[in-house]
């Protein structure tokens, strides 16, 4: 799907290097540096973080970040209540 993803790696963040008689090797995409999004998408910032940085937050960190947004905070609080605060959003 076109849009905000890195077209070089198709939004995977990694490029597969085929090794003929060995298992394939995956390396970080040179274009997006493993962030999965194109430059224009990464320039969009909310409260100082871009989409890659937000998705890299743990549930615990995201709860503090999204505290002023009650609909999001409620869902994150539910995850915290069941002990999943360590999981990353993305």
26 Cβ contact partners less than 8 Å away, ≥ 6 residues apart:
14, 15, 16, 17
Check residue 12 and report its DSSP letter: S
Mean pLDDT score of the chain: 94
Two tokens, residue 26: 């995956």
> Rounded distance, CA 46 to CA 74, Å?
19
Q: What is the pLDDT of residues 37-72, one digit of tens each?
A: 999 999 999 999 999 999 999 999 999 999 999 999
Q: pTM for the full model?
A: 0.78
């Amino acid at each position: 799907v076109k849009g905000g993803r890195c077209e070089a790696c198709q939004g995977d963040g990694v490029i597969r290097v085929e090794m003929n008689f060995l298992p394939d090797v995956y390396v970080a995409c040179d274009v997006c540096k493993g962030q999965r999004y194109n430059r224009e998408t990464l320039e969009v910032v909310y409260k100082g973080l871009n989409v890659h940085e937000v998705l890299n937050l743990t549930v615990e960190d995201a709860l503090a970040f999204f505290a002023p947004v009650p609909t999001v905070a409620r869902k994150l609080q539910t995850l915290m209540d069941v002990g999943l605060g360590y999981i990353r959003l993305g």
